[in-house]
């Protein structure tokens, strides 16, 4: 029963991380609670109707417009444009990764992180932002080992590393380190979890981030951590 409760807390923590908020280009925006996106944008499940006949310049313009829509919370419009970009015959590998990363985050905001996971996986080799999204998806599904691996690939194992994201996806540096703390603990690395949670707490500049929820998750697993984190 205790572990079931802890898993629910872990889901809550990640859901809060991806919840809709004002955000910033460095991923330090605050988040709306409760969890899923309710209002604050056009949240649909657009499928895209592009024919893929434009030029490479058109792809860049389309991606730029899609990210702009994402920033305003117009997720359905962003989804349509990202999808349209993927259909363009002239799209480069980097642009395709950008489009899939965008689809991952827009679908996450509109429908929950499970909807974006497949797109994060497609983009993760080229886009660090997609690695972050994929790690969050793995935490929500309880796959802490894969979550840890992707967070480590981002450089977060170094507690002096400060994560920034090119788009306002709604995950702060402190929250990313807290995610790694949880992943470390759940894969048997208590020392690593303590170091990461200390880092997360020290860098948490908000009173309403998910860092506190993740800390509560760790304490519910091991109350003896109270004097360490």
DSSP string, 25-50: TTS-----SSSS--SSS---------
The encoded tokens of residue 148 equal: 């840890």
Name the residue ranges covered by the structural domains of the chain: 1-36+124-229, 38-111
Q: For position 11, what pLDDT does the model report?
A: 55
pLDDT (0 to 100) of residue 206: 80
Residue-wise burial string across 81-103, b where 16 or more C-beta atoms lie within 10 A, e elsewhere: bbbbbbbbeebeeebbbbbbbbb
Cβ contacts of residue 173 below 8 Å, gap of 6+?
Answer: 26, 27, 28, 162, 163, 164, 203
Residue 85's pLDDT is what? 97
Contacts of 26 (CB under 8 A, 6+ apart): 164, 165, 173
| Residue 173 near residue 132 (C-beta atoms within 8 A) | no
- pLDDT given at position 10: 56
Task: Evaluate whether 100 touches 116 at the Cβ level (below 8 Å).
Answer: no
- Residue 211 sits at φ, ψ, to 5 deg, of -55, -45
Task: Select 1-36+124-229's CATH number: 1.20.810.10, 1.25.40.10, 3.40.50.620, 3.40.640.10.
Answer: 1.25.40.10
- 47, 52, 56, 59: CA torsion to nearest 10: -20
**pLDDT digit of tens for each residue in the chain (229 aa)?**
445 445 545 555 565 566 543 333 333 333 332 232 223 334 344 444 444 444 556 999 999 999 999 999 999 999 999 999 999 999 999 999 999 999 999 999 999 999 999 999 999 999 999 999 999 999 999 999 999 999 999 999 999 999 999 999 999 999 999 999 999 999 999 999 999 999 999 999 887 779 999 999 999 999 999 999 9
pLDDT score for 79: 98
The answer for residues whose C-beta is within 8 angstroms of residue 191's C-beta and 6 or more apart is none
| Residue 199 CA: distances (Å) to CA of 19, 30, 108, 138, 178 | 22, 19, 26, 22, 8
Residue 48: both structure tokens together: 């895209």
């Amino acid at each position: 029963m205790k572990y079931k409760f802890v898993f629910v807390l872990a889901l809550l923590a990640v859901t809060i991380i991806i919840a809709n908020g004002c955000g910033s280009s460095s991923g330090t925006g605050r988040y709306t609670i409760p969890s899923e996106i309710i209002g604050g944008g056009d949240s649909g499940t657009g499928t895209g109707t592009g024919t893929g006949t434009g030029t490479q310049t058109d792809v860049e313009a389309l991606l730029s417009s899609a990210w702009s829509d994402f920033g305003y919370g117009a997720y359905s419009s962003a989804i349509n444009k990202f999808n349209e970009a993927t259909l363009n015959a002239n799209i480069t590998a980097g642009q395709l990764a950008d489009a899939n990363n965008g689809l991952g985050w827009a679908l996450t905001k509109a429908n929950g992180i499970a909807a974006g996971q497949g797109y994060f996986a497609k983009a993760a080799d080229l886009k660090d932002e997609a690695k972050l999204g994929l790690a969050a998806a793995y935490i929500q599904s309880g796959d802490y080992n894969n979550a840890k691996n992707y967070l480590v690939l981002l450089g977060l194992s170094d507690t002096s590393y400060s994560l920034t994201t090119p788009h306002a996806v709604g995950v702060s540096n402190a929250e990313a380190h807290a995610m790694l703390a949880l992943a470390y603990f759940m894969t048997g690395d208590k020392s690593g979890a303590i170091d990461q949670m200390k880092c997360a707490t020290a860098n948490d500049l908000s009173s309403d981030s998910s860092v506190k929820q993740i800390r509560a998750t760790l304490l519910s697993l091991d109350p003896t951590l109270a004097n360490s984190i």
